[in-house]
Structure 1
Amino acid sequence: MKILIIGASKGIGLATTTAALAAGYEVRAFARSAADMTLSDPRLEKMPGDATHQQDVEAALADVDAVIATLGVGLGDLIKPVHLFSDATRVIVAAMTEKSVKRLVCVTGFGAGDSRASIGVLQRVPFQIVFGRAYDDKTRQEDLIKQSGLDWTIARPGVLLNGPKSSHYKVLRDPASWRNGIISRASVADFLVKQIEDRTYLHAAPVLVN
C-alpha cells in the first residue's frame, strides 16, 4: 500500500513517516519543505506542495491508498486567526472524493470538537488564551471530516513530547474517560499508522495519552 502523509516534514508528520516506513508501507511525504527532509528510504517519495492548493493535493493523491493528515502551525501563528486546518481539510476532502481515495486518518488534539468540554476548569481559560484560535479551527476541521462521507478516524493527542514510543499509551474512546495528559509523538505516530488498515476506530475521535 502507498500512504500519503500530509505535513510530513516535521513533528508528528515526520514521526509518522518514519513509523509507516518501518511498518513496510510505501510513503509519499507531502509538505512545503518536503525536499529538505533528511530521511532517506527506497520506499519514500518526497513531494513538495501546499495542502491548501487543490492541484497540489490532487497530484499527491495519485495511486495512493490512504491519507494521514498531520498539519501543524508554529507558535507564532497562535496569536492571530488560524484557518490552515479547515482550509486545507476542505481541499483534502474534495480531492480525496474526486480521486476516490476513502481512508483518511487525521490528527487534531485534545480540546478540539466535543473533547473541549473535558478540559479541566482550571485549564480552560489559559487553554483558550493560548490555543483557542488554533483549536477553534481544529474543531472546524473535525466537522468537515465528519461530514465528508470518507472512512475517517480522528486522533486527539494530549500534550506532545519527544521521546520513544510507549507500549502502554491509552486510546480513550468513551467521552467519560477523556482527559488531558502527555504522550510522545512516536506513540501518536504508532496509532496513526495502525489505523491505515485497522477499522476499530472508524468514524471515531479518541483521545490519546500515556
Structure 2
Amino acid sequence: MTTRLLILGATGPTGALLLDRALAAGHEVTALVRDPARLTRSDPRLTVVSGDATSDADVSRAAMGADAALVALGSGRSVRSQIASRSAAALIPALRAQGVDRVVVLSAFGVGETERQAGLLMRSAYRTVMRQLFADKAKADAAWRASGLDWTLVYPVTLTNGPRTGTYRAVPALRARGVPRISRADVADFMLAQIGDTAWSGRTAVLAG
C-alpha cells in the first residue's frame, strides 16, 4: 500500500538512506530540505520542498497530505546543536494542524534514561563531549512524548556506514558493553517499517546490531 510520507533530514547520512528505502518501497515522499541542491536523488514519487525544519509554516506546508512523518534530522558536527528541540517545537503543532498523527523520530542511545544503560567509556563521552547535545535531544524527546501524537522514538547505538543486515535488535532497554554499533542502513530499515506497524507506538526503541 502506498503511503504519503514527510521526511525531514533527507540530505543527512541516515535520512538519505531512509529516503532511498521509502522510494524503493513505492511510497510517495515529500522531503523538506534547507538546500534542495544537496538532494541529488530524482524520482517521480519525490517532491522536494525548500524550507526550515524549525519553521512552523514551512513544516505545515510540507506536511500537507502526508500520512506520516519520519524525522531524521542530524546535528552535523556540532555538539551544541539545538536542532532537536527547535524542530520538535515547530513540528508538533504543524503536524497536528495538518492531521499527521504518526511520527517516527531518530534520537540517540545515551539520551535521557538510556545514559545509565551504556558502558563506562560511552557514559563518560555522553556526560562530557555530548552533554549539551544530548540534553537538547532529551528536551525534544520529552516534547514528543507529551505531544499526543502517535510517536515512536528511535535510539540507535553508535552509527556506522555499513550495509543493511536486517539482523539488528530493537529492545526497550539495553545493557551495553563496550561500544555497540549499528549501521545507518539498519536504522533506516527500522524507521520505515514502523509506518505500518504499531508494536513500537508510544514507545522508545533502542537499536543495536
Q: Does TM, normalized by the shorter one, top 0.5?
A: yes
Distance in 1, matches of 2:125 and 2:185, equals: 27
Shift, 1:30, TM fit: 1.2
Distance in 2, matches of 1:167 and 1:39, equals: 24
Deviations 1:48-100 (A, max 9, x none): 2101111100100111000001111122x21xx43211011011001111111
Structure 1 residue ranges, 4+ long, deviating more than 4 angstroms after superposition: none
Residue aligning to 1:34: 36
TM alignment of 1:60-209, pairs within 5 A = 60-75=62-77, 77-78=78-79, 81-173=80-172, 175=173, 177-179=174-176, 181-209=180-208
**Quick check: 1:178–1:207 contact (8 Å CA) kept in 2?**
no
Residue aligning to 1:23: 25
Distance in 2, matches of 1:186 and 1:144, equals: 27
Say whether residues 1:11 and 2:13 are aligned partners. Answer: yes
Deviations 1:142-180 (A, max 9, x none): 10000000000011011111121012111112x2x3435
**132-141 or 178-187, which deviates more:** 178-187
Q: Cα RMSD (Å) of the superposition?
A: 1.3
**Quick check: 1:8–1:34 contact (8 Å CA) kept in 2?**
no
Distance in 1, matches of 2:53 and 2:103, equals: 14
Distance in 2, matches of 1:178 and 1:69, equals: 26
TM-score by length of 2: 0.94
Say whether residues 1:52 and 2:54 are aligned partners. Answer: yes
SS at match of 2:130: helix
Shift, 1:11, TM fit: 1.0
Count of aligned positions: 205
Task: Specify whether residues 203 and 7 from structure 1 end up closer, same or farther in structure 2 by C-alpha distance, changes over 3 A only.
Answer: same
**Quick check: 1:51–1:88 contact (8 Å CA) kept in 2?**
yes
Distance in 1, matches of 2:81 and 2:38, equals: 25
Which ranges in structure 1 are unaligned for 5 or more consecutive residues?
A: none
**Quick check: 1:172–1:178 contact (8 Å CA) kept in 2?**
no
AA at the equivalent of 2:4: K
SS at match of 2:141: helix
**Quick check: 1:9–1:30 contact (8 Å CA) kept in 2?**
no
Deviations 1:18-38 (A, max 9, x none): 011111100111111234211
